[in-house]
Amino acid sequence: MAKNRELNTQDINISKKNIFITKTPQETRNLGKKFASMLKSGDIVFLKGDLGSGKTTFTQGVVKAFGNKGFARSSSFILVNEYNANNLKLFHLDLYRLKPSTVWNIGIEEYLYSKNISLIEWADRLVGAENDNHWNVEINDIGSERKIKIEKKK
């Protein structure tokens, strides 16, 4: 069973399935940072949640954890942002503007199925990839707070 728990950045234990509550953007970034420590070469992360729910904010924490000085920006107008992550790359993709019917026409496999790590906003556009190994990070607004569910789909 998933557990609801207050976010304590000293003690986040992201196991196979967990739900976290964050009260501020910084807490969401901290959760992203902690989550980054679980990512391995080749991992794909589906970021789900409504407009403004915090997908990019969460990604900022992941990017920071890999030692990037730059700040992850909302990539709504740029399809892919690229960051260096030790000896591999971190790709932050935003598929918002793509239709599910065209998403596979842009060479997206090159990002997904590689030794790199991909974080994908609006991953619901990626019809056909549901059964691939991936992490699911689902963000819901609950007033000023965010409920963030992290699970590994094997």
Rounded to an integer, what distance in angstroms lies between the CA atom of residue 20 and that of residue 44? 20
- 92 part of the interface to Mg ion, by CB under 5 A: no
Where does residue 65 fall: left (phi above 0), alpha (psi -120 to 50 degrees), or beta otherwise?
alpha
One residue of 4, 38, 52, 115 binding ligand ATP per CB under 6 A? 52
Binding residues for ligand ATP, total number by CB under 6 A:
20
Q: Tell me the CB-side half-sphere exposure of residue 54, using CA atoms within 13 A.
A: 27
Please answer whether residues 102 and 116 qualify as being in contact, where contact means their C-beta atoms are separated by less than 8 angstroms: no
**Shortest approach of ligand ATP to residue 131 CB, angstroms?**
24
**Shortest approach of ligand ATP to residue 74 CB, angstroms?**
5
Contacts with Mg ion by CB under 5 A lie at: 55-56, 74
Contacts with ligand ATP by CB under 6 A lie at: 22-25, 27-28, 49, 51-57, 74, 76, 121, 144-146
